[in-house]
DNA sequence: ATTACTAGTCGCCGAGTAG
DNA sequence: TCTACTCGGCGACTAGTAA
């Protein structure tokens, strides 16, 4: 879903809904209320909601008494993509974002996921390096979560999910990163379904990062995200 | 100019131009290049630029060899308005923004401007208080300039400019503020033509702020901007 | 009250092409 | 090459109205 495929109406409506907290929870709206806010007809408001629903940008339960609306993760991510593009428009000189986080040990899921043949092959071909069989978990500093969300609004490398042994493995989004003064190939990975505002970022690399960086749990790690030329899609 | 009056294409084009640094300077573009980027026809690209020019959102010199484009202050402010709305959409719990700045003495222009009968009357009627005949100049902390720009993206109270004695007095934009723990009526004022990224904010109030706050040049002042319910226009 | 279908109008888009 | 006009078609809007 590309933000530029949305009409201005739909985008405005999405912003309106989000401002009314439709990101976290279902909110009540009526098509008449939307129509008045945007100075359009009630019918158009109805059609816009319908279209957003069809494109799975919102969840919508309509009834003769009114409607309940909530943004889907897709809707949320569209707003973040717009934010990313806008930030770059307003700060064209900004070419990288630094994040600080603290290393911690997870339950080993990262290692498990990377080991899945399907993921491993895609990581290798799309990232251009063979990932070490393990991840370095970072708990991003509270002050930097907003910046993490900004990075997540960029156009990530998408590792496709799959179904295996009756279990669903979802899409994983990869963001190429650098560790200042190190040459290791690094990428931050985040499951697509992770909500914005999360402070967890897992790092994969072609090397054993804990050794290269000489860190243990609790140590601070800085990663840097550098902008590409344009939105790639 | 309301951001919701722009078509999605025009908004996208504006972002594209800004990302290519058309905020600061004239940049070269061709309608074909824009057409390819957005996957539209060259004709539509041409029409979009033409419309943006008519609405004084961009300056555009076109010739058979290509075009030079630059955003007008209006164009810049549209992007900042969008940023403001988007920030509120993504952070609906954020209800106020604090700015830190350092007091300094200007050349007394603020005092001069407020004294102009035309400005004074409008300040009084639109802000709801009689401004003290002087302003408190703040040099906003570098780290907070981005937040100042965010506030400037909101819907300000507009004090209309006028022509007098052969001189042009431009529009002044007012942002209602509060000083933490003080009850004084305060507003930040910024001439409309001031470019974004500026670190100067002038405060007007119904009281003599330097006395109430007990400050001299060089002292730090904190001001707080609180969001209203909705975009007012 | 709501949502949403249908009919009719209007404006926007792309193709062809002129300057 | 550029920009930008005209024209034909289609998509989006409003009004009326059904459910």
Residues B195 and B140 in one domain: yes
What is the number of structural domains in chain A?
2
Q: Would you state the pLDDT for residue B104?
A: 96
Q: Which domain holds residue A38?
A: 3-77
Residues A120 and A207 in one domain: yes
Q: Do A89 and B19 touch (CB under 8 A)?
A: yes
Looking up tokens 């703040």, which residue turns up? B138
How does pLDDT run across B111-136, given as a tens digit for each residue? 888 889 999 999 999 999 999 989 99
Q: Would you state the pLDDT for residue B229?
A: 60
Residues A14 and A102 in one domain: no
User: For residues A35 and A43, what is the distance between their CA atoms, to the nearest angstrom?
Assistant: 8
Residue B10's pLDDT band (boundaries 50, 70, 90)?
very high
Residues A73 and A100 in one domain: no
Residue that wins the pLDDT comparison between A113 and A168: A168
Residues B154 and B69 in one domain: no
Q: Do B79 and A89 touch (CB under 8 A)?
A: yes
Please identify, among B77, B103, B138, the residue that sits at the C-terminal boundary of a domain. Answer: B77
Residues A140 and A195 in one domain: yes
Picking from A12, A18, A20, the nearest residue to B90 by CB comes out as: A18
Residue A65's pLDDT band (boundaries 50, 70, 90)?
confident
What CATH number is associated with residue A13? Answer: 1.10.10.10
Residues B192 and B101 in one domain: yes
Q: Cβ(B179)–Cβ(B187) under 8 Å?
A: no
Q: Would you state the pLDDT for residue B8?
A: 93
- Provide the shortest C-alpha distance from residue A221 to chain B (in Å): 23
Residue B65's pLDDT band (boundaries 50, 70, 90)?
confident
Q: Which of A1, A15, A78 to mutate to test the interface with B (most CBs of B within 10 A)?
A: A15
Q: Do A82 and B80 touch (CB under 8 A)?
A: no
User: Has residue A117 been placed in a domain?
Assistant: yes
Best CA proximity match to B76, nearest among B5, B136, B144, B22? B22
How does pLDDT run across B169-214, given as a tens digit for each residue? 999 999 999 999 999 999 999 999 999 999 999 999 999 999 999 9
Residues A55 and A169 in one domain: no
Q: Cβ(A201)–Cβ(A70) under 8 Å?
A: no
Q: How many CB pairs under 8 A join A and B?
A: 78
Residues B50 and B131 in one domain: no
User: Has residue B83 been placed in a domain?
Assistant: no
The nt closest to A38 (CA vs C1′) is D13
Mean pLDDT, rounded, for A187-205: 95
Q: Would you state the pLDDT for residue B232?
A: 36
Whether A97 has a pLDDT exceeding 90, the answer reads yes
Q: Do B4 and A18 touch (CB under 8 A)?
A: no
The nt closest to A64 (CA vs C1′) is C2
How does pLDDT run across A127-143, given as a tens digit for each residue? 999 999 899 999 999 99
Residues A103 and A171 in one domain: yes
Chain B residues close to A89, C-beta within 8 Å: 14-16, 18-19, 23, 79
Looking up tokens 């509270």, which residue turns up? A142
Q: Would you state the pLDDT for residue B64?
A: 85
Please state whether strand D lies within 7 Å of residue A44 at its CB atom.
Answer: yes
User: For residues B223 and B203, what is the distance between their CA atoms, to the nearest angstrom?
Assistant: 9
User: Has residue A217 been placed in a domain?
Assistant: yes
User: For residues A42 and A131, what is the distance between their CA atoms, to the nearest angstrom?
Assistant: 53
Which own/partner pairs from A23-27 qualify as long-range (CB within 8 Å, at least 24 positions apart)?
A: A23/A70, A23/A71, A23/A75, A23/A76, A23/B89, A23/B90, A23/B92, A25/A70, A26/A59, A26/A61, A26/A68, A26/A69, A26/A70, A27/A68, A27/A69, A27/A70
Looking up tokens 């140590």, which residue turns up? A219
Task: Note the CA–C1' distance, A115 to C12, in angstroms.
Answer: 52
Chain A residues close to B83, C-beta within 8 Å: 83, 86-87, 90
Task: Note the CA–C1' distance, B35 to D9, in angstroms.
Answer: 21
Task: Note the CA–C1' distance, B32 to D8, in angstroms.
Answer: 23
Please identify, among A77, A105, A139, the residue that sits at the C-terminal boundary of a domain. Answer: A77
Residues B53 and B104 in one domain: no
Please identify, among B12, B42, B77, the residue that sits at the C-terminal boundary of a domain. Answer: B77
What CATH number is associated with residue A181? Answer: 2.40.30.30
Q: Would you state the pLDDT for residue A228?
A: 74
């Amino acid at each position: 879903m590309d933000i530029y495929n949305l009409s201005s109406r739909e985008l405005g409506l999405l912003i309106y809904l989000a401002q009314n907290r439709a990101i976290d929870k279902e909110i009540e709206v009526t098509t008449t209320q939307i129509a008045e806010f945007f100075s359009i007809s009630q019918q158009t408001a109805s059609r816009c909601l319908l279209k957003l629903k069809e494109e799975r940008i919102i969840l919508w339960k309509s009834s003769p008494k009114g409607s309940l609306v909530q943004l889907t993760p897709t809707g949320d991510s569209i707003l973040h993509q717009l934010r990313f593009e806008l930030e770059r428009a307003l700060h064209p000189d900004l070419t990288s974002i630094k994040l600080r986080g603290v290393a911690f040990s997870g339950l080993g899921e990262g290692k498990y996921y990377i080991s899945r043949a399907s993921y491993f092959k895609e990581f290798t071909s799309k990232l251009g390096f063979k990932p070490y069989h393990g991840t370095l978990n970072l708990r991003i500093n509270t002050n930097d979560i907003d910046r993490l969300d900004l990075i997540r609004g960029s156009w990530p490398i998408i590792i496709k999910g799959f179904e295996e042994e009756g279990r669903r493995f979802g899409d994983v989004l990869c963001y190429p990163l650098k560790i200042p003064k190190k040459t290791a190939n690094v990428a931050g990975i985040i499951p697509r379904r992770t909500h914005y505002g999360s402070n967890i970022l897992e790092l994969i690399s072609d090397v054993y990062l804990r050794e290269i960086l000489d860190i243990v749990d609790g140590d601070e790690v800085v990663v840097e995200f550098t902008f590409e030329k344009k939105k790639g899609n």
